[in-house]
Amino acid sequence: RKEVEQDPGPFNVPEGATVAFNCTYSNSASQSFFWYRQDCRKEPKLLMSVYSSGNEDGRFTAQLNRASQYISLLIRDSKLSDSATYLCVVNGRRGSSNTGKLIFGQGTTLQVKP
């Protein structure tokens, strides 16, 4: 089983749609969670950190369910510029410490159409 699993998609949605991405992780000791965005042939860019209480940044909402080891990203009112690959990321753990290693999912591709 992969340490971080995502549906690779692609998700093809019209402008203005709401789209949700899901991700599961295998290490229940993981403490830090992130969503990164990666445009074609570019570097990953931090979209948002994910907290247990959930967090929102404009049209983007991230949720964490520790019991189910599940992370989600919701994008409302999709824009053409949201077209990208969204990477689910968790930190590596060794015992009770963070290792500094980020573990990435395969990424979910979003294509927003006019």
Partner 1 sequence: DAGVTQSPTHLIKTRGQQVTLRCSPKSGHDTVSWYQQALGQGPQFIFQYYEEEERQRGNFPDRFSGHQFPNYSSELNVNALLLGDSALYLCASSLLGEGTDTQYFGPGTRLTVL
Q: How many residues bind partner 1 (CB under 8 A)?
A: 23
Interface residue with partner 1, options 1, 43, 53, 95 (CB under 8 A):
43
Query: Residue 73 interacts with partner 1 (CB under 8 A)?
Result: no
Interface residue with partner 1, options 84, 107, 110, 112 (CB under 8 A):
107
Looking at 10-18, 52-60, 67-75, 98-106, which segment touches partner 1 (CB under 8 A)? 98-106
Interface residue with partner 1, options 50, 91, 110, 112 (CB under 8 A):
91
Q: How far is CA 55 from CA 60, 61, 70, in A?
A: 8, 6, 15
Interface residue with partner 1, options 39, 42, 66, 77 (CB under 8 A):
42
β-pairing, 108-113 with 11-14?
Answer: parallel
Give the tokens for residue 95.
């015992």
Query: Residue 9 interacts with partner 1 (CB under 8 A)?
Result: no
Interface residue with partner 1, options 46, 56, 79, 113 (CB under 8 A):
46
Order across the sheet with 70-75: list the strands.
4-6, 19-25, 70-75, 60-65, 55-57
Rounded distance between C-alpha atoms, residue 102 and residue 21, angstroms: 19
The residue count for the chain: 114
